[in-house]
Amino acid sequence: MESSDTDILSDLKKEFRNIKCLATEEKSKKSVRNCGECKIGSDKPEIDFTIASAKLDGILTKIKNDSPHYFKALSMAASILYERAKICLNLNLLEESKAYLEKGLQLVEKFIDNSQVTFIYLRIVNFLSYIVSRLNDFDKAKNLLEMVVNSELKCKPVVYSTDDLFLTTKIEDNVSKTKLEKLNINNIQMLGWIYYKLGMTNLYAQTIHKGLQLELDINDGDPVHWATRCCRLASFFIIQDMWENARYHLSAAQIVLDAVELTSSTNASFFKAQGDLARIWVNYGLQLFGISRKSILEKVWDENDEIKPNKKLKSECFTFSGMDIRLPNVPVKEITNVQESRELFSYTHVWLKRARLFYSLRDYPLQYINIILELSELYRFLAYYEKDLDSQYDVTKKRFETLETLSSVLREVRPSCYATMSLEIIREIIDVQLELMNLNLKKLYNPIEDTALNESDLKKRIDIVNDVNVKVGKIYNKRNESKILHIAEDNKEALPGTSDETITEVAHANFVL
């Protein structure tokens, strides 16, 4: 190595040490600032960066393009700019961070096919995409990431961290390969997020699935985090009514979490992932029930009173290679009959009980309440699909018992939560009671039944109907009072004469014939 090249590389290493010291100093200042012990101006680090940048430009002018160490010097200079950008980000100086990264990108973008330059180029693109997205320039972030994600590498990069570069540390080939693959996956995940922000939902799903597949291929990540991201993608599929993809990805996440559980390496994040998986399965059932019921209620008829075919674009099916996934027997199409509704209810109910294991009343009271309310919704959907009145009544009665139990438990165990949620729960209970009485009236008036009634039986039924009518009127009046109370609470005005005990008394009235 020529003496001039030695001096240049030595100067670059010195600059790197200076920037590392500055990073450590700013980190300590930030911790002191967060403690509130003193205030530090934001202009001093900016002046230091300006001086260091001018010094770096002076160093780069000394190196010759035909020098054997030219590309290494470029990588070192770009790495220094990269480190400065990180410090700016910690100081929330986004524009300054962007300027440093753009300058570093300008240094190396013409030499991305060189093995010593490729990796730092990919890192700068990754970081710059994040910065410009923070500045709401999503189109630029998309263009940067697409440029590296969709292009193939034409060389075998010499992969190193910034410290390895300046310390001339040699790393093993398998470590280099893993680092490069992880950086590529990170770029893909960020590109998927950018697609989502831009409303490009199809590209979002394709890109995120591709990233999950690459993580499976390298088999060097956290399986719990992988399952969490897979569940997040499944939630997106549920929103898009892509039921087959949602079921597939939830099943894949379940397989991965089951494997982790068998290794006995469980922790808090694992149980959280299991709870989230259960909640998403419950959401799957509720959403599928919801769109199925809506489809039945809002059928479109043409002039000939024929149902128009439901024209839906066939969605792309995403699968993972290398995974043997057994799909559960759960519907992936709109529910049309009692049997399908019972299958969906049974499977969703299993996952709802699993969700209650993690989101307990003691640790997660609000989530627990939401889970019970979701169970009430499941009963409501199931009752809608039941054909005979007795089955509808039995399911609706279970729904009432569920809400009644929730109200009693909260009142005794979690009074504060009851005070917050009581009005909503009471409204639900009143609605269920009205539905029960409606079913009772249908039982009383059954035109299909051809039974000879004597005068006493007829009089008895008339008395029952009159009694039910009186009770319906009472509940209707009390329900209006609860609405008035709700409006009064929203306006933060006291409403005298309507107590919580009065509303609760009405809600607990059970009119069963």
Spatial CA neighbour of 341 closest among 308, 302, 380: 380
The pair of structure tokens assigned to 38 is: 């003193």
CA distance 356 to 368: 7
C-beta separation of 60 from 77 below 8 A: yes
- Return all residues near 357 (Cβ < 8 A) that are at least 6 apart: 275
Spatial CA neighbour of 169 closest among 161, 177, 181: 161
The pair of structure tokens assigned to 288 is: 């599928």
CA distance 496 to 491: 14
Average pLDDT, the chain: 80
What's phi and psi for 301, nearest 5 deg?
-110, 140
Spatial CA neighbour of 468 closest among 502, 434, 428, 501: 434
Report DSSP letters for 397-430, one per residue.
HHHHHHHHHHHHHHHHH-HHHHHHHHHHHHHHHH
Terminal CA-to-CA distance of the chain, rounded, Å? 99
Report DSSP letters for 91-107, one per residue.
TT-HHHHHHHHHHHHHH
- Segments of the chain with pLDDT less than 50: 1-3, 37-47, 300-311, 313, 450-452, 483-488, 490-513
- 292-299 long-range contacts (CB < 8 A, ≥24 apart) are 292/334, 292/335, 292/336, 293/335, 293/381, 293/384, 295/334, 296/336
The pTM is what?
0.77
Residue-wise pLDDT for 216-242, tens only, equals 998 878 899 999 999 999 999 999 999
- What is the model's pLDDT at position 509? 36
- What is the model's pLDDT at position 238? 96
The pair of structure tokens assigned to 329 is: 């027997």
The pair of structure tokens assigned to 128 is: 């710059």
Helix (H) or strand (E) holding 320: none
What's phi and psi for 307, nearest 5 deg?
-75, 130
- What is the model's pLDDT at position 378? 96
- What is the model's pLDDT at position 224? 93
The pair of structure tokens assigned to 396 is: 């609706």
Domains in the chain (CATH in brackets) are: 1-194 (1.25.40)
- What is the model's pLDDT at position 473? 67
Q: Exposed, middle or buried, 404 (CB in 10 Å: 0-12/13-18/19+)?
A: middle
Residue-wise pLDDT for 249-279, tens only, equals 999 999 999 999 888 777 888 999 999 999 9
HEC string of 176-243?
HHHHHHHHHHHHHHHHHHHHHHCCCHHHHHHHHHHHHHHHHHHCCCCHHHHHHHHHHHHHHHHHCCCH
Using CA atoms in the order 300, 304, 305, 309, what is the torsion angle rounded to 10 degrees? -40
C-beta separation of 478 from 499 below 8 A: no
- What is the model's pLDDT at position 471? 66
- Return all residues near 438 (Cβ < 8 A) that are at least 6 apart: none
Q: Which residue has the tokens 């299958």?
A: 343
CA distance 223 to 261: 11
C-beta separation of 490 from 412 below 8 A: no
The pair of structure tokens assigned to 151 is: 């292009």
